[in-house]
Amino acid sequence: MERILEYPKDPVLTFSKEEELFRQMVREFCAKHIEPNWIEVDKAAEKDPMNMPLDLIKKMGQQGLFCIPCSEEYGGQGGTYTMATIATEEIAYADPSVALAVYALLNNGWPFALELFGNEEICSEILPEVAKGNAFFGIASTEPQGGSDVAGIRTRAEKKGDVYVFNGEKAYISGVGEVQKLPWGGGWFLVARTGGEGHKGLSAFAFLARKNGELGKGWNPTLYEDIGRHGLTTGGFILNDFELEAKYLLGEENKGFYHVMEGFNLARIVVAAATIGAARWLLEKAVEWFRSRKLFGRHISSFQGVSFKFAELYARWEAARYFVYRASRLADKIYMEKDPSLSPKDLNVPVALAKNYGPETCVDLAEEVMKWYGAYAFTKEAPIFRAWLGPFSYVIGAEGAQNIMKVIIARDLIGKEFIR
């Protein structure tokens, strides 16, 4: 596919030579393996959620698209968070339904969070399998009563000897099907209550529903039928006396709220990267349409009602892209370079800006492109709707609702005592 829009000539966010070579490698892989197949992946999984692209996931693992920022000693790629961001954007451009991009971003952001808080034994056990595409590792915080209220989590983990016993329910969790079908299995960065009420009673775990091909007892999954982003499963599970060895505790007991919040900051960067990748694809589809479609003997882009709106949305895409890469470079400063002048909390506002701006820009752009396409966009022959429904999941709440991003920005800039 001809690429009409390239990256803006931007001295602020110019890629290094290594990053540019990496981007080209990812782009070539995507052009060969993802671009020609993404619609069929979406169609097949729409009919049956368990009809997931396992062969493609394996190829992505072989290409080194998972665990990019994780240490090589744990089977990771030893790259940077900016590289993970680049990869996610390119995968989303190739699959603007963002299913494969979301699979990739989950298996970059949360494995990196696992490495931050997990002990050497469990990192050595889990991360190599995720990196190879044999296992899934995502996030499991959302429960039926709500996703944004992490402090209100009800799933309990009671320590009995050298195991934790889990009881409760998780909902709207990505990867429930993949964990069941990938060769090794996998699980999630799961948050459960180990203490009293509120955020100080929560702990985080490397929760493995299935490992070495064996399902754990007491894990009862179900799959949902989503309206989009079909190439990645979403579901929930009920835990009935599920036992997990105590070594899978991440960080300190009853500190899980702080650990998962740090993980969300990392994950939201690559979430936003997926939406700007899909938005870039939509911008190109708009330009292609403008150059071919005429109305009253004129190209439709000659009407200011069309071209001005395009210009506004392009400007929003550039702004969103800036927010995304500013956040990823800041993450590198904090976690890779370990800049002593910075702390993980310095990511709060930059990440919230990226997550707030990227998904809404992408969805608004998709809606406008569908209007420009007219009736054709309302048919399944036109793929635009697939790039609308997938990113919409990030507007309605996945990885943090949009209003939560606004709360974070206001809280950190005004002061939390003035926001309560």
% of the chain surpassing 70 pLDDT: 98
How would you classify the pairing of strands 294-295 and 298-299? Answer: antiparallel
What dihedral do alpha carbons 352, 24, 63, 56 form, nearest 10°?
80
Give the pLDDT confidence score for residue 2 in this predicted structure.
Answer: 59
Residue 181: closest CA among 320, 48, 366, 50: 50
Hey, what domains does the chain have and what are their CATH numbers?
Answer: 17-136 (1.10.540.10), 137-250 (2.40.110.10), 256-418 (1.20.140.10)
Q: What is the arithmetic mean of pLDDT over 25-50?
A: 97
Please return the burial class of 140, using the count of CB atoms within 10 Å of its CB with bins 0-12, 13-18 and 19+: buried
Average pLDDT across the chain, whole number = 94
Kindly report the length of the chain: 420
The sign one gets for the Cα dihedral 277, 279, 280, 281 is positive
Q: What is the mean pLDDT of residues 108-121?
A: 98
Instruction: Give me the torsion for CA of 50, 56, 58, 64, rounded to 10°.
Output: -130
293 DSSP β-pair partners: none
Check if the beta carbon of residue 173 is closer than 8 Å to that of residue 239.
Answer: no
Q: Bigger pLDDT: 348 or 9?
A: 348
**Is beta strand 135-140 parallel, antiparallel or unpaired with respect to 185-193?**
parallel
Q: Is 164 helix (H, G, I), strand (E, B) or coil?
A: strand
Q: Give the DSSP per-residue string, 46-108.
A: HH-TT---HHHHHHHHHTT-SSTTS-GGGT-----HHHHHHHHHHHHHH-TT-HHHHHHHHHH
Tokens of 333: 């400063």
Cβ(365)–Cβ(317) below 8 Å:
yes
Per-residue pLDDT at 1: 52
What is the mean pLDDT of the segment spanning 166-182?
A: 97
Q: 209: closest CA among 247, 232, 233, 236?
A: 236
Helices (H), 151-241: 176-181
Whether the per-residue pLDDT at 97 is higher than 90: the answer is: yes
Interval 251-302: pLDDT, tens: 999 999 999 999 999 999 999 999 999 999 999 999 998 998 878 888 888 8
At residue 22 the predicted structure's pLDDT band, cuts being 50, 70 and 90, is very high
Q: Stretch 300-312: mean pLDDT, rounded?
A: 90
Residue matched to tokens 């001295």: 11
**Per-residue pLDDT tens for 230-247?**
999 999 999 999 999 999
The span from the CA of 64 to the CA of 87, in Å, is 10
C-alpha–C-alpha distance, residues 181 and 134, integer Å? 9
Distances (CA, A) of 23 to 30, 67, 87, 277: 10, 16, 7, 13
- The confidence score (pLDDT) of residue 5 equals 72
